[in-house]
Amino acid sequence: MSGKYRHEWKHIISYADYLAIKSRMNAVAIPDPHAKDGKYLIRSLYMDNMNDKALREKVDGVNMREKFRIRYYNNDTSLIHLEKKSKTNGLGTKFSALLSHEEAQKIVDLDLDWMMDSERPLVKELYCKMISPGLRAKTIVDYTREPFIYAPGNVRVTLDYNIRTGLNCTDFLNPDCVTVPAGDAPIILEVKWDEFLPSVIRDAVQVPNRRVSAFSKYAQCRVYG
């Protein structure tokens, strides 16, 4: 679990911006040691209800909102995370719990009774929200992430690209599940920090004529419906 609210910037950037920021970040920060060759391959399964509440709240810019997803990295389904991301007044927090391969598959298959007896609060919360208001697995979101960390301020800078959608497919534990490019998806710079953003990082991620964006990978991956 987590729960600490953090600041977050998102910028849509060009390929030239990406190359410049990556070069500057390599000079002032360190790549996330958990990444392989400096990268993660991330596969997430996003949840939403029949009215697309999470999607609509994001598009409408609702001030207080949340979304659930299940995620694993680098095609390794032995370590799967259930996550709830919440946004309030522009600050974000994330709660997480581990799922087994079997548990994740059961959630996708709507085999839910076991969740009532879980000792993980987040699993119980998801159970309640799958019963009412009817959250369901909605779509797969795949992308590549290059992450950097900087200890002062607990800063995390990520460069995300090659965003792909599973359309209406929810078979996210199947490595052969086909995904397609999510429209004309851009490269995304994300910067997250606690109380302060050190000036060395602020300078390194500076992109001329780029404004903070509310870009959502989930919303982008719903581009086809």
Q: pLDDT by residue (tens digit) across 8-22?
A: 999 999 999 999 999
pLDDT for the residue numbered 1: 56
3-state secondary structure 13-82: ECHHHHHHHHHHHHHHCEECCCCECCEEEEEEEEEECCCCHHHHHHHHCCCCEEEEEEEEECCCCCCEEE
Q: pLDDT by residue (tens digit) across 67-77?
A: 999 999 999 99
pLDDT, mean over the chain: 92
pLDDT for the residue numbered 2: 59
pLDDT for the residue numbered 136: 94
Q: pLDDT by residue (tens digit) across 94-113?
A: 999 999 999 999 999 999 99
Superfamily name with CATH number, domain 7-220? VTC, catalytic tunnel domain (3.20.100.30)
pLDDT for the residue numbered 176: 82
